[in-house]
C-alpha cells in the first residue's frame, strides 16, 4: 500500500509520524549504496521547459499553436507524423523552438542532486525520459553521448561501463539520417533549416554519392536528417544496449529506487520501473534477521516524488509517494543528510603548491614550518656532527667498504693468503727502470751501452732447495741467462742477449 506524504504541508499541521517518515526517507538516501533513479519531464519544469501532460505542458502548447494540424498534442510526437508533409514540417518547426529554449536553460537542483549521488558513489544508474541532456552538462555521460560510442566493430555500440545516464527517449542535441542512420551533432546550421520547416541533407550520404560519381559510378540516394529523439510507436536505435544495461543493473542488487517527475503512463517506462521495484523489494533486509534496530529502516523501498499521485496499479509497487516539487524534496534530503551524517560532506582541501614542507625546531623551542628545501640549523640539537668528533663512527655497509685483496684483514686471513700478502715487491727502483727503458735511438750523444754488470736486483727468497744452496748475487750476464730459461711474473725486463735453447748453458 502506497503511503502519501505532503511535502508542502506546514510542520505545525503535519503529523509527527509523517515528519518521521520523511526523515527516514532522507536517511535511506544517505545510507544506500546502489540507488537507481528514474526521472521524467517534471524535474525540468523549474528550468523553464514545460512537461508533456500538464495543463500548460507541451501537448497543450502544440494544440494551441497548430489547431488545424493535430487533433491531440500527442499526435505531434507519434512516428506516424512523417507520413504527412504538413505534420512533418510542423514537427520540425516545433522541435527547433524547443531546442532553442533548452539551450537557454540551465540544470535544476534535481539534476545536481543526481550528479551529487554519482560523485559520492551512491548512484547505480540514472534512467531518464528527458531529451534535454542536462545530466550530461553536469558530467554524467549519456547513452547518446559521442564519448561512449565504440569505434570497433562488435555486438555493442556503446561502452556500457561508461554510461551513467540512460536516455530512454533520445537526445535533442543530436540528429540522425533517415537513410544511413548517421548520428551527428545538432548544429546551428541545421537548427535554422529546421526552423523553416524543412530537413537538411545528410553529409555522409552526400560524400559517399560524390565518391561514386568521381569513379564513374551511378550516384546513390541522399537521406535527410531528423532530430535524434524517439517518438511513440518507434523502436529505439540503442534498444539492445539499453536492455543489456538494465539487466546488468538488476543483477547488481540495487537497494533503493527513486522515481521523480513522471506520470508513469508510457508502457516501456512502466515495465522498467516494475522490474526494478521487484528486484529492490527482493533485496530488502528482513526484520527477523537482526534483533537490533536497522540503521537504514527504509532500505529496499520505492520512493515516488511527483505533484500528482500515481494510478491505482502502483499500489503494490510504490511504497511512499512524496507529493510536491522535486527540487524542494532534494533540498530537504540534502539538508537532513548534512545534519545526520556530517562527515559525508567534509571536503578535503589540497595544497596548491606542490613544494615539500619541513618542520624544524629553533633554539628557543618553538616549532617552525619552512617551505621548500629545509635549512639545517646550527644548534647542537639539530647538528648530528657537532660535539661527536671523538666518537667512533658506525661501520659502513659491505658495498661501501674499501676493496682489498681478501675479504678479511691480514690477521684474520688464511695462512696461504697471509703468506702471499707478505711477499716483498721485486720491482726495480725508479733509476734502474729509467736506465733500462730510456730511448737512446735519437739521442745526439754517443750511443750508450747498457751496463748490466752494475744492475743488481733483489729477488724474492725462494723455497728450500735440495742441497741447501744459498742464493748469491749474480752478475748481469748470469741474470739474463736465468730469465731466458724461466721468465719471472714479478719483474718485466728486456734482455739484450738472444734467447737460448732449453738445456743449453
169 is catalytic: yes
For the chain, what is the domain count? 1
Residue 5 CA to residue 13 CA, distance in Å, equals: 12
Tell me which H or E stretch contains 62: helix 58-65
The pLDDT value recorded for residue 489 is 46
Selecting among 106, 111, 169, 378, the annotated active-site residue is 169
* Residue in the structure block whose three cell numbers are 500500500: 1
User: In this structure, which long-range contacts are made by residues 481-490, counting pairs with CB atoms below 8 Å and at least 24 apart in sequence?
Assistant: 481/505, 488/426, 490/425, 490/426, 490/427, 490/460
All 3 cell numbers of residue 251? 543483477
Residue at 465 is within a domain: yes
Give the mean pLDDT per block of 10 residues along the chain (505 residues): 87 80 94 95 88 74 74 79 88 90 94 96 95 93 87 75 94 94 93 92 95 93 95 91 94 95 92 96 75 72 94 94 95 95 81 49 44 44 49 57 50 57 53 53 47 52 52 53 52 49 48
pTM > 0.85: no
In a domain, 374, yes or no: no
CB-based contact 452:480 (threshold 8 Å): yes
Residue 274 belongs to some domain of the structure: no
473 assigned to some structural domain: yes
Residue 202 annotated in ligand binding: yes
Asked if residue 459 is part of any domain, the answer here is yes
Q: What is the pLDDT of residue 392?
A: 55
Q: Per the annotation, does 45 bind a ligand? A: no
pLDDT of residue 431: 58
DSSP 304-330: EEESSPPPGGGTTT-SEEEES-HHHHH
Residues 220 and 201: their CA atoms lie apart, in Å, by: 13
Any domain includes 503: yes
Containing structural domain, residue 474: 426-437+448-505
275 found inside a domain: no
What order of strands is seen across the sheet that includes strand 170-177? 183-185, 170-177, 225-229
Q: Is 205 part of any known ligand binding site? A: yes
pLDDT at 156: 74
Alpha-carbon distance values, 370 to 41, 216, 366 (Å): 56, 77, 13
**Residue whose C-alpha cell reads 523489494 in the numeric block:** 281
User: Is 180 labelled as part of a ligand binding site?
Assistant: yes
- Residue 454 domain-assigned (yes or no): yes
Amino acid at each position: 500500500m502506497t503511503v502519501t506524504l505532503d511535502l508542502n504541508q506546514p510542520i505545525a499541521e503535519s503529523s509527527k509520524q509523517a515528519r518521521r517518515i520523511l526523515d527516514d526517507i532522507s536517511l535511506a538516501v544517505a545510507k544506500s549504496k546502489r540507488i537507481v533513479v528514474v526521472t521524467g519531464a517534471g524535474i525540468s519544469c523549474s528550468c523553464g521547459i514545460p512537461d508533456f501532460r500538464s495543463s500548460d505542458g507541451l501537448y497543450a502548447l502544440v494544440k494551441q499553436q497548430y489547431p488545424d494540424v493535430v487533433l491531440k498534442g500527442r499526435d505531434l510526437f507519434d512516428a506516424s507524423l512523417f507520413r504527412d508533409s504538413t505534420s512533418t514540417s510542423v514537427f520540425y518547426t516545433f522541435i527547433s523552438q524547443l531546442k532553442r529554449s533548452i539551450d537557454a536553460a540551465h540544470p535544476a537542483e534535481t539534476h545536481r542532486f543526481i550528479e551529487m549521488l554519482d560523485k559520492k558513489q551512491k548512484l547505480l544508474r540514472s534512467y531518464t525520459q528527458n531529451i534535454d541532456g542536462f545530466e550530461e552538462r553536469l558530467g554524467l555521460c549519456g547513452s547518446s553521448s559521442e564519448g561512449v560510442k565504440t569505434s570497433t566493430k562488435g555486438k555493442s555500440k556503446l561502452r556500457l561501463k561508461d554510461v551513467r545516464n540512460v536516455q530512454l527517449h533520445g537526445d535533442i542535441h543530436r540528429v540522425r539520417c533517415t537513410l544511413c542512420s548517421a548520428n551527428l551533432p545538432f548544429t546551428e546550421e541545421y537548427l535554422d533549416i529546421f526552423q523553416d520547416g524543412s530537413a537538411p541533407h545528410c553529409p555522409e550520404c552526400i560524400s559517399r554519392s560524390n565518391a561514386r560519381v568521381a569513379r564513374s559510378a551511378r550516384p546513390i540516394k541522399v537521406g535527410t536528417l531528423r532530430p535524434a529523439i524517439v517518438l511513440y510507436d518507434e523502436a529505439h536505435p540503442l534498444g539492445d544496449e539499453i536492455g543489456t544495461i538494465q539487466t546488468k543493473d538488476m543483477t547488481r542488487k540495487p537497494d533503493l529506487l527513486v522515481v521523480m517527475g513522471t506520470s508513469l503512463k508510457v508502457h516501456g517506462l512502466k515495465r522498467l520501473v516494475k522490474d526494478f521495484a521487484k528486484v529492490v523489494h527482493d533485496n530488502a533486509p528482513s526484520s527477523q534477521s537482526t534483533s537490533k534496530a536497522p540503521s537504514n529502516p527504509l532500505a529496499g523501498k520505492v520512493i515516488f516524488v511527483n505533484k500528482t499521485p500515481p494510478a491505482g496499479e502502483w499500489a503494490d509497487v510504490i511504497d511512499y509517494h512524496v507529493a510536491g516539487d522535486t527540487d524542494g524534496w532534494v533540498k530537504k534530503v540534502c539538508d537532513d543528510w548534512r545534519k545526520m551524517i556530517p562527515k559525508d560532506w567534509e571536503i578535503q582541501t589540497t595544497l596548491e603548491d606542490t613544494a615539500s614542507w619541513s618542520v624544524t625546531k629553533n633554539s628557543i623551542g618553538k616549532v617552525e614550518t619552512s617551505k621548500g628545501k629545509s635549512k639545517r640549523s646550527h644548534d647542537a640539537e639539530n647538528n648530528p656532527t657537532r660535539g661527536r668528533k671523538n666518537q667512533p663512527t658506525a661501520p659502513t655497509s659491505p658495498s661501501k667498504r674499501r676493496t682489498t685483496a681478501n675479504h678479511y684483514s691480514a690477521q684474520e686471513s688464511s695462512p696461504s693468503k697471509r703468506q702471499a700478502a707478505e711477499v716483498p715487491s721485486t720491482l726495480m727502483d725508479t733509476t734502474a727502470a729509467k736506465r733500462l727503458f730510456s730511448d737512446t735511438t735519437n739521442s745526439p750523444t754517443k750511443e750508450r751501452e747498457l751496463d748490466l754488470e752494475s744492475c743488481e736486483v733483489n729477488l724474492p727468497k725462494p723455497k728450500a732447495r735440495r742441497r741447501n744452496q744459498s742464493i748469491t748475487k749474480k752478475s748481469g750476464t748470469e741474470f739474463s741467462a736465468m730469465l731466458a730459461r724461466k721468465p719471472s711474473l714479478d719483474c718485466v725486463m728486456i734482455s739484450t742477449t738472444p734467447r737460448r735453447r732449453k738445456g743449453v748453458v
